[in-house]
Amino acid sequence: MSAAPFPAAAIAGVCAAARDHLRITGHAEDAVIERLAASALALAEAYTGTALIARPHQAMMAASNEWRALPVVPVTSITAALPVDAIDIDGDGTGWVRMTSAAPVHFVAGLATGWEAMPAPVAQGIVLLVAHLFDARTASAAPPAAVGALWRPWRRMRLAGAQR
């Protein structure tokens, strides 16, 4: 499975919010904050099991007469190429395909269209994580518990072998 990198506008939005939170006025730390913003977004996606910023994804899907779930949610569109027999997106954003032979499936997945549309608790958790990573660059301190508390309601758990 592969995903396009986070859009530059999303990274810039996280950086601006983190700079505000940290009360940083200069630009000497911009490169560090940008890397931390990308890391925090990736960690938030891994923790929640959700693509946060809508962007293109690709998954290699095996041939099967049974419906197979795409590995990323919430799916907003599926661009199927032959040999896909059928595609569907259910109410919770899970994308499903049936395929006569193995092939890549291209799709768009993401909770928000951009940083400005991110749910406030998720965005706040990302900003807190960036601030923590920035402040604890030389220490091995655990992230604040508030980060997990803010993200927990958005966490999706998937059972292996999910089928329709």
What is the structure's pLDDT at 102?
87
22 and 89 assigned to the same domain: no
pLDDT, tens only, 88-107 = 999 989 999 998 888 889 99
60 and 131 assigned to the same domain: no
pLDDT, tens only, 18-58 = 999 999 998 999 999 999 999 999 999 999 999 999 999 99
22 and 43 assigned to the same domain: yes
Better-scored residue on pLDDT, 59 or 156: 59
Q: What is the DSSP letter of 144?
A: P
Indicate whether 8 pLDDT > 90. Answer: yes
Range of the structural domain that residue 119 is part of = 2-53+112-154
In a domain, 160, yes or no: no
Indicate whether 75 pLDDT > 80. Answer: yes
119 and 39 assigned to the same domain: yes
Indicate whether 6 pLDDT > 80. Answer: yes
SS percent in the chain: helix, strand, coil, step 5: 40, 25, 35
Of 69, 58, 92, 86, nearest in space to 164 by CA: 69
Give the CA diameter of the chain: 58
Q: What is the DSSP letter of 49?
A: T
Question: What pTM did the predictor assign?
Answer: 0.87
| Omega before 83 within 30 of 0, i.e. cis | yes
**Which ranges constitute the DSSP H helices of 23-119?**
30-48
Q: How far apart are the C-alpha atoms of 50 and 68, rounded to whole Å?
A: 18
49 and 128 assigned to the same domain: yes
Strands 55-61 and 103-109: antiparallel
Least confident range from 1-15, 53-67, 108-122, 150-164: namely: 150-164
In a domain, 162, yes or no: no
